Amino acid sequence: MEKIKIGTRGSLLAMWQAEHIAELLNKAGLATELVTIETKGDKVLDVSIAKIGSKGVFTEELEEQLASGSVHIAVHSAKDLQSTLPRGFEIIAFTERERVNDVLVSHKKGISLEDRKTPIVVGTSSTRRVAVLKHYFPHIKTVEVRGNLQTRFRKMEEGHCDALLLAYAGVHRMGLADKIAQVLDTDLFVPAVGQGSVAVEASSSLDPAIKKAIRDAVNHDRTAARLIAERAFLETLEGGCSIPVFGLATLHEDRLKIKGGIISLNGKTIVQDAVTGKVADARALGKKLAERLLDKGGDAILKEIKMQLKK
Ligand SMILES: NCc1[nH]cc(CCC(=O)O)c1CC(=O)O
């Protein structure tokens, strides 16, 4: 089979992920080549993602090259992929998910969210994390820290904040796990949809034999089932990555449980719930959870958030 050209952003995290996919393909006997592609999200660093509009800022240029055939696949953090891909593109594989938790990382010792005597300042650019902090840890101050993980660590060390709130997955992939001060409970910090898995995107017109070979080498079925439920949940809510929505599916033998919620930007109002059913109904379960949340007041929270983010 021809050499698989893998399109990726150039950040260290993106490169780690692309190399991880290359390794899985190489193990299955497929030759690979990495092609780095710069996206709008990499160029615009002075405007918060919530304001640029989250749609496709990190994916558009990759998709152009998928469409033209100059790369066979594009690799993304699964959680950065919009819940509805543009027409003509599909996800052909999800890698085995690693630890899904958010973590607090710091260059300082003895850092904790619970410390009320000397509250720490937490850097994050995620509306979900800010809202959840406000809800459960109202004494904590937050500051926006953007950029790739290396930039964020540098800003923290320069004194912008005492700690960063990040996904374990990214911290681990960057070899920075020794900076973890706290692994946060997934009942409080329910992760973003897709957190911890790497997704392979392709053009729907990619040769089916190549598609199958890649899928066989990369896809982890039990992770895929969980992500299908979570992504159906997000799709029903029409949530992009700048909306503070969270969702996590887990598997217990052949039972799939998905929990999730919506939280107002100020952390005051939160609606959450969970549903359980058969793995085979993953999509339907995600949709059902979303519909329940919308009914329970989530609809009003989302409307308010969308208005606030437009400002
Ligand atoms: N939004 C940025 C982003 N996209 C993927 C990861 C980490 C890897 C993952 O969650 O799979 C991160 C950093 C973070 O949220 O801390």
Mean pLDDT of the 243-263 span:
96
Residue nearest to atom 1 of ligand 1 (CA): 80
Residue 146, Cβ density class (10 Å: 0-12 exposed, 13-18 middle, ≥19 buried):
middle
Give the residue-averaged pLDDT of 291-307: 94
- Taking the CA of residue 78 as reference, the ligand 1 atom at the shortest distance is 11
For the chain, domains (ranges, CATH) are 1-96+197-219 (3.40.190.10), 102-183 (3.40.190.10), 221-311 (3.30.160.40)
**Packing angle between helix 12-27 and helix 149-157, nearest 10 degrees?**
140
- Going from the Cα of 79 to the center of ligand 1, the distance in angstroms, rounded, reads 7
The distance of Cα 241 from the centroid of its chain, to the nearest Å, equals 8
What amino acid occupies position 50? A
Q: Which atom of ligand 1 is nearest to the CA of 198?
A: 11
Tokens of 83: 């819940």
In three-state form (DSSP H/G/I as H, E/B as E, the rest C), the secondary structure along 178-239 is HHEEEECCCCCCCCCCCCCCEEEEEECCCCHHHHHHHHHHHCCHHHHHHHHHHHHHHHHHCC
- The ipTM estimated for the assembled molecules is 0.95
* pTM greater than 0.90 (yes/no): yes
Distance from Cα 1 to the centre of ligand 1, integer Å: 33
pLDDT digits (tens, 9 = 90+) for 189-232: 999 999 999 999 999 999 999 999 999 999 999 999 999 999 99
Q: Provide the annotated active-site residues.
A: 80
| Segment 78-137, tens digit of pLDDT | 998 988 999 999 999 999 999 999 999 999 999 999 999 999 999 998 999 999 999 999
**Which residue's CA is minimally distant from atom 6 of ligand 1?**
170
